[in-house]
């Protein structure tokens, strides 16, 4: 029989209170434990609304990479220092940063990533649209770099919860991380 997590918690609290209350009935010797596992992919603090941050320094982007995890797909943008800021949001159509020309994608939703940082002169993206075929990420889209700002896109399976954060390192560099969950 499947018992909801709340019922398990209530049973555990009741058992603990009974053992602490003088004259109460004897506490059960064991508390039933559900055989179903807890949610292994918590996205409670994630969401699909725009995420942005303004910072005080700027450094060029020198690499962009993607990967798959058990609960989400991840894009990492490597910078030689800290970016001046970023904006990550779902949009109807991805368009080139300087041209405004729409880029056709195959996913059900489009995530636009604007980094307030130029591209390093040593970094050259290989393709405008790169097919990924991950659980959530369908395509990575290079939208260009113009006047100290760089725009990328991710075509996703659907408008799913995401989180965005900065990590320090390696060295004096930093990494802008965008995770998009496999499901709600």
Calpha distance 115→106 (Å, rounded): 23
Residue pLDDT, tens place only, 14-55 = 444 333 334 444 444 443 433 333 457 877 678 888 888 887
CATH code of the domain made up of 51-181: 2.60.40.3500
- Which is nearest to 149 in space by CA: 116, 100, 178, 175? 116
- Which is nearest to 93 in space by CA: 75, 111, 116? 111
Using the CB atoms, write b or e for 127-145: b if 16+ within 10 Å: eeeeebebbbbbbbbbbbb
| Paired sense of beta strands 102-103 and 109-115, if any | unpaired
What the block records as the tokens of 88 is 């990550």
- Which is nearest to 105 in space by CA: 151, 158, 148? 158
115: Cβ contacts below 8 Å, ≥ 6 apart: 61, 77, 79, 83, 85, 86, 149, 150, 151, 152, 176
Residue pLDDT, tens place only, 76-133 = 999 998 877 899 999 999 999 988 999 999 999 999 999 999 898 888 886 789 999 9
Which residue's structure tokens are 């591209």? 119
pLDDT of residue 62: 92
pLDDT of residue 18: 38
Calpha distance 132→134 (Å, rounded): 6
Q: Where in the chain is the domain with CATH 2.60.40.3500?
A: 51-181
Residue 143: pLDDT over 80? yes
């Amino acid at each position: 029989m499947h018992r909801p997590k709340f019922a398990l918690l209530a049973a555990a609290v009741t058992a603990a209170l009974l053992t602490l209350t003088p004259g109460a009935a004897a506490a059960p010797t064991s508390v039933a434990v559900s055989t179903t596992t807890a949610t292994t992919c918590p996205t409670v603090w994630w969401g699909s609304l725009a995420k942005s941050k303004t910072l005080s320094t700027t450094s060029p982007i020198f690499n962009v990479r993607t990967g798959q995890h058990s609960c989400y797909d991840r894009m990492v943008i490597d910078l030689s220092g800290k970016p001046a800021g970023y904006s990550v949001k779902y949009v109807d159509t991805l368009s080139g940063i300087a041209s405004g020309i729409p880029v056709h994608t195959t996913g059900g939703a489009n995530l636009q990533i604007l980094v307030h940082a130029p591209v390093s002169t040593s970094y050259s993206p290989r393709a405008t649209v790169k097919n990924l075929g991950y659980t959530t990420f369908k395509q990575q889209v290079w939208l260009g770099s113009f006047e100290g700002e760089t725009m990328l896109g991710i075509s996703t399976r659907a408008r799913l919860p995401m989180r965005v954060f900065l990590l320090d390192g390696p060295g004096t560099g930093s990494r802008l991380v965008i995770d998009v969950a496999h499901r709600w």
